[in-house]
Amino acid sequence: MAYRRAFDLPLHDGRAPRWLYERMVRLAKCVLTIIVDEYGPSGLLERIADPLWFQALACALGYDWDSSGTTTVTCSAIKEALREKDLGVKACGGKGKASRLTPQEIVCVCKSYGMEDEASSFVRISRLVAKIDTSAIQAGYQLYHHTFFVAEDGSWAVIQQGMRPLERLARRFHWLSTELKSFSEEPHKGIVGSVVHSHVLNLTDKESSEARKLCIDVAKEGPERVKRLLKAAMTKIRGPLDAWLQRRDVVDVEVHKLPRFVNWLALERALELSPLSFEELLLVEGMGPLTIRGLALIAELIFGAKLSWRDPVKYSFAFGGKDGVPHPVDVKRMDEAIGFLEGAIDKSNVDWREKREALRRLATLAAMLPSST
């Protein structure tokens, strides 16, 4: 069952102190080793891609429960731990400049696993999931973090995060290959949101299936055809006032605001390449959020296709707060997360000092829980 919850997640400045980060890497290495021993590399990916488990791990490693750094610093610590210890899983990319190195790192990892032939496919997937979370889902978040996890059996997971800098809010996207049925329709393992926004263009919603097809068809007709359709859509939105008042399905003018800038070169490329799927359309060079939005609005306003404006947030960033803010602690789900990590550490052969430190951190989390009575 998916839980739809939201609250403010502030973007924090600065860096994690070195003394904390070094311990995060050491403890992460212990926990990840235990998980791989118990469940294998694919089991580790399943847990990394689970928003609840990832959040619990970040807190157990000692990071702030309400910080945007929960994603970036924890992923960095996991990446370093996986680099230091061969567990059959490697991490590529990261925050900012590191995210731009993802393709090169994917190629290197594939070579180390003897999967050179799959490297180009993984690079394509890395690009595609980034395009989907910025263009197919338009909630105003710009990606600044992208970590791609690859297992030796070919399975993969992605954790990426975007931000709305003016509001200082963040949003995290989780992907898992073994549970992925379609890249274009409800593909996420989970989306962790700071705020549930109204009127989010969501082309990954199953209700947008017809609109996705029309986006492909319209794009293949070339920029001149798109220009004419955009003008027609603008005329429809700005119709006479009396006509608007007589309609029951009045279109929200602000929500349906047409983009001021459309990448006409990208539409020229689409005309030449003639994409056969929505994924291929997104991967056309220069096909960004504004151009996709223009195509989607044409599909709805001109051709009457259903277009989803529902925010696809599925999970909250944490279990809640002891004072009920932003919501009461979800005791059951937090107990499950803590119990899993405690059991994993109890089975390990880590140094007793590291074990005591790990349990102390977990005990601190448990102390946040309200009394059951």
Residues 211, 192, single domain; the answer is: no
Task: Say yes or no to pLDDT of 349 above 90.
Answer: no
Q: Is 198 helix (H, G, I), strand (E, B) or coil?
A: coil
Domain final residue, candidates 282, 301, 320: 301
Taking only the tens place, the pLDDT of each residue in 115-141 is: 999 999 999 999 999 999 999 999 999
Question: Helical H runs in 113-159?
Answer: 119-131
- The whole-angstrom separation of Cα 238 and Cα 257 is 10
Q: In terms of domains, do 43 and 146 share one?
A: yes
Cα separation, 351 vs 58, in Å, equals 20
**In DSSP terms, which residues pair with 190 in a beta bridge?**
174
Give yes or no: residues 129 and 215 share one domain: no
Could you tell me if 265 and 219 lie in one domain? yes
pLDDT (average), residues 94-106: 94
**How many CB atoms are located within 10 Å of the residue 33 CB?**
18
Count the domains in the chain: 2
| Residue 170, pLDDT score | 86
Question: What is the pLDDT at residue 325?
Answer: 40
This prediction has a pTM of 0.79
Q: Is residue 306 part of a domain?
A: no
Residues 75 and 102 in one domain: yes
Placement of tokens 């390990």 in the chain: 348
Same domain, 210 and 184: no
Q: Is residue 201 part of a domain?
A: no
327 or 189: which leads in pLDDT:
189
Q: Is the dihedral of CA 182, 184, 186, 187 positive or negative?
A: positive
Bigger pLDDT: 112 vs 368? 112
Are 139 and 287 members of one domain?
no
Among 57-71, 254-268, 288-302, whose mean pLDDT is lowest? Answer: 57-71
| Gap between the Cα atoms of 251 and 258, Å rounded | 12
Residue 7, pLDDT score: 34
Domain assignment of residue 39, yes or no: yes
Q: Kindly state whether residues 232 and 166 are assigned to the same domain.
A: no
Nearest to 310 by CA among 192, 137, 170: 137
Which of 258, 280, 301 finishes a domain?
301
Exposed/middle/buried for 114, CB within 10 Å: 0-12, 13-18, 19+?
Answer: exposed
Looking up tokens 């947030």, which residue turns up? 313
Which residue in 165, 208, 213 sits closest to 187, CA to CA? 208
Q: Are residues 317 and 191 in the same domain?
A: yes
Region 181-200: what's the mean pLDDT?
A: 90
Lowest mean pLDDT among 16-20, 287-291, 296-300: 16-20
Expressed as residue numbers, the domain containing 119 is 1-196+312-373
Q: What phi and psi values does residue 176 have, to the nearest 5 degrees?
A: -145, 125
Residues 38 and 180 in one domain: yes
Residue range 259-284: average pLDDT?
A: 96
Last residue of a domain, one of 301, 320, 355: 301
- Spatial separation of the C-alpha atoms in residues 44 and 57, rounded to whole Å: 12
Which of 167 and 326 is assigned the larger pLDDT?
A: 167
262 and 348 in a single domain? The answer is no
Beta bridge partners of 292: none
pLDDT value at residue 196: 86
Strand segments, DSSP code E, in 1-54 are none
**Count of C-beta atoms within a 10 Å radius of residue 304:** 11
Residue 320 has pLDDT above 80, yes or no: no
pLDDT at 250 over 80: no
- What's the confidence (pLDDT) of residue 246? 47
Tokens 């400049």 sit at which residue? 97
Between these two residues, 38 and 87, which has the higher pLDDT value?
87
Asked whether residue 289 falls in the same domain as residue 324, the answer is no
Do 219 and 212 contact (CB within 8 A), yes or no?
no
Classify residue 307: in a domain, yes or no. no
